[in-house]
Amino acid sequence: MNKSKETLHDENVAQCVSDFVDDRLSSEDLDFLLSQENEKWETTLKSYAATQQALNSAEPMTDFSQFDLLSRVREGIDGIEPDLLPDETETSPSNIVDLSERKAAFTESNARHLDALSDSENSRKSNVISVKMFAMAASVAFVALLAGQLFLSQGNDFNGEGLPVIAVANLDQTDSILDDPQDIQALSLDVNNDRLQSYLRQHAEQSAMATNQGMISMARVVSFSTEQDEQ
Amino acid sequence: MVLVVNLSYAASDNSVGLIRLSNMVQSFSVLSYQGIFVRSQGVEMNSMKILHDVIDGSEYESLVDLDGDKIEVIRIDDSVICVYPDISFANTAEPVTAPLRQFKELNGERLLEGYTFELSEKAEVIAGRNAHKLSLIPKDSYRFGHEFWLDSENDFLLKHDTLNLKGEVIDRVQFTDITFAPKLTKADFVPRLGTYSRHIVEVKPEMTDNKWRFDWLPDGFAPVWRDARVLNGKTAMLLLSDGITSISVFVEPTQVETDYSVMEMGSTTVGEVSRALQTDILRLTIVGEVPEDTVEKMLMSFLPRTAS
């Protein structure tokens, strides 16, 4: 049975909210998310944010009910100093969000996104890139990093000034591996190497039996195909 | 006097901790349960649905990836079925090849060589159930710490954190919903309509003599297999474990010597070096949920067995 356009739209927004909380929202999807009505999606965003914080932080829980998260992101983008942005940009892959194009593209994105809804299941996979175990090419460009967790982690004293730009960087043309920065200590090995992928999989499968955690330890193996596919 | 009291507490925690950990291992295959757990590593998060029951004397188990491509693994005793969203996906995805049987006995002696057990008296609520935290505190810096939250009634694992040497969580598995005795039937372990299933036939692995040894290993680690497993006809795989953590070692011939290189992803470390051992140049790769220092030290202490 075909899903209605409204259902597809809602599913797409829900996925965007999830990706935003996971810090892997693409530039286009952020545009799309920001164009949605606050009231309808704030509750979803807050519940996802609370779950993410509970899973990944030992800090006391932030009371997300006290502030408007989507408005906070909008304020953050509006508060970027123009001097920080580059004159030209060539790429904005994955969670690297090109902020210089943000405002100009804002009004066009919603219509474009709706047109693309019918292909959303396929296109999402190519847009959203796993930040774990992934190497990507980057053109020479200044980019600003914008992360959902940053907005979610600030307390009620958020004022929208200067916060959204985590880093303004000049990327060179060499391949770089994106990962959670705290996870990367050394990157001499290329994880995209087929041989290493095979070894990682063999290890995940065989060690699942040796770690005494039942089928739960197989979670790594089951999700492994998805991770490989995203690459 | 104080020291004696503390030691007795420690011994007690070790004994009780081992019993509860052993109960945890048993509970996976004995209890009937249905639940959803989340696994997070770095910024990655996956939710999984798990079902388990013993029906008419057979063990039924199902694990479904609720995110991404919704791959499912169904196990009925020793038979494993991989369920994919469609046939095209099945043709491109790597099948699960491992048998899903688990070790049902815990090697307490080996665990106590590497960890001190600490059992929290304070109950916490995980997935709506009371749980007590069992901490496995590493005795050295060659392994990560572990915290298990065990159900107060049946010792089922409700949450597991892996901690790095700074005590930071680097890997977490946590149930968000769990029901015990959910009255499952065989129909709950049938692949969904419209999916494509593939029966995984367990091929007896090709084994070869283990021709290598380690001059040094972290306390408590020992080979899981007596022999080495052969992969692709040329690579030998060894598996070591301390009962909770495992380390895989891959050995294959190569042409050139290369320096040590390493990569860390969450709790998993991969280290590699190619060097001349006797007459051959061998590439050694170690993959394990251990600190980088452990991988490097093991790579440097890898030696061929000498004929006795």
**A219/B29 touch (CB, cutoff 8 Å), yes or no:** no
Contact status of B43 with chain A (Cβ, < 8 Å): yes
Contacts of A223 in chain B (CB under 8 A): 39, 46, 48, 65, 67-68
- Beta-carbon separation of A209 and B44 below 8 A: no
> Using alpha carbons only, what angle is made at residue B171 by residues B169 and B175, rounded to the nearest 5 degrees?
105
* Whether the predicted pLDDT of B10 surpasses 90: no
Cβ-defined contact of B265 to A183 (cutoff 8 Å)? yes
Given CB atoms, is B231 within the 8 Å cutoff of chain A?
Answer: yes
Average pLDDT over residues B12-16: 88
What pLDDT was estimated at residue B67?
A: 83
**B54 CA to centre of own chain:** 23
Render pLDDT for A80-96 as a digit per residue (tens, 0 to 9): 444 444 443 333 333 33
Lowest mean pLDDT among A4-8, A52-56, A180-184, B85-89: A180-184
SS3 B86: coil
**Model confidence at A113, in pLDDT bands (50, 70, 90)?**
very low
Calpha distance B35→B48 (Å, rounded): 8
In terms of average pLDDT, the best of A42-56, B18-32, B65-79 is: B18-32
CB contact under 8 A, B40 and A206: no
The mean pLDDT of A178-201, rounded to a whole number, is 61
- Closest listed residue to residue B59, CA positions, set B40, B84, B78: B78
Residues A5-18 have pLDDT tens digits of 777 777 777 777 76
Asked if pLDDT for residue B218 goes beyond 50, the answer is yes
Spell out the SS3 assignment of chain A: CCCCHHHHHHHHHHHHHHHHHCCCCCHHHHHHHHCCCHHHHHHHHHHHHHHHHHHHCCCCCCCHHHCCHHHHHHHHHHCCCHHHCCCCCCCCCCCEECCCCHHHHHHHHHHHHHHCHHHHHHHHHHHCCCCCCEEECCCCEEEEECCHHHHHHCCCCCCCCCCCCCCEEEECCCCEEECCHHHCCCECCCCCCHHHHHHHHHHHHHHHHHCCCHHHHHHHHHCHHHHHHHC
Chain A residues in contact with B237 by the CB 8 A cut-off are 202, 206
Q: Is the pLDDT of residue B280 over 80?
A: yes
* Lowest pLDDT segment from A48-52, A145-149, A219-223, B116-120: A145-149
Q: Return the higher-pLDDT residue of B18 and B87.
A: B18
B172 touches chain A (CB under 8 A): yes
The pLDDT of residue A114 is 36
Percent of chain B with pLDDT over 90: 51
How confident is the prediction for chain A on average, in pLDDT?
A: 52
Whether residue B264 and residue A222 make contact (CB cut-off 8 A), yes or no, is no
pLDDT in tens, B70-91: 778 888 887 778 887 766 655 5
Interface-testing mutation among B43, B143, B206, B261, with chain A (most A C-beta atoms within 10 A): B43
Smallest Cα distance from B248 to chain A, Å = 6
At residue B302, the pLDDT reads: 92
Q: Is the pLDDT of residue B103 over 50?
A: no
Residue B138 pLDDT > 90: yes
Given a cut of 70, whether residue B250 has pLDDT beyond it is: yes
Block residue for tokens 């081992």 = B18
The interface pTM score, or ipTM, of the predicted complex is: 0.86
> What pLDDT digit, counting tens, does each position of A123-179 carry?
332 222 222 222 222 222 222 233 444 444 444 444 444 333 333 333 333 333 333
Residues of A in contact with B299 (CB under 8 A): none
Q: Which of A189, A207, A218 sits opposite B262 (nearest CB)?
A: A189
- Return the pLDDT at A112: 46
Shortest Cα distance, chain A CAs vs residue B230, angstroms: 11
The lowest-confidence range among B104-108, B111-115, B223-227, B301-305 is B104-108
Q: Judge: B44–A131 Cβ closer than 8 Å, yes or no.
A: yes
Mean of pLDDT values over B229-239: 90
Which pair of tokens denotes residue B119? 């059992």
**Is the pLDDT score of B249 beyond 80?**
yes
Most confident of A35-49, A205-219, B251-265: B251-265
Measured in whole angstroms, the distance separating CA A9 from the mean position of its chain's CA atoms is 19
Mean pLDDT (chain B) is: 85
Interface A-B: count of C-beta contacts within 8 A: 190
Q: Hey, are the CB atoms on B246 and A206 less than 8 Å from each other?
A: yes
Of the CA atoms within 13 Å of residue A34, those in its CB half-sphere come to 23
* pLDDT category of residue B182 using cuts at 50, 70 and 90: very high
CB-based burial label for B151 (10 Å; 0-12, 13-18, 19+): buried
pLDDT score of B16: 92
Among A44-58, A205-219, B256-270, the least confident range:
A44-58
Other Cβ atoms within 10 Å of A197 Cβ, number: 17
d(CA B229, CA B223): 12
**B287 contacts on A by Cβ (under 8 Å):** 199-200, 203
DSSP alpha helices (H): ranges in B82-229? 87-92, 108-114
- pLDDT for residue B52 is more than 80: yes
SS3 B22: helix
Chain B residue closest in CA terms to A213: B25
Read off the amino acid at residue B88: S
Indicate the range of A96-100, A201-205, B266-270 predicted with least confidence. Answer: A96-100
Average pLDDT value for residue range A185-191: 55
Q: Is the pLDDT of residue A105 over 70?
A: no
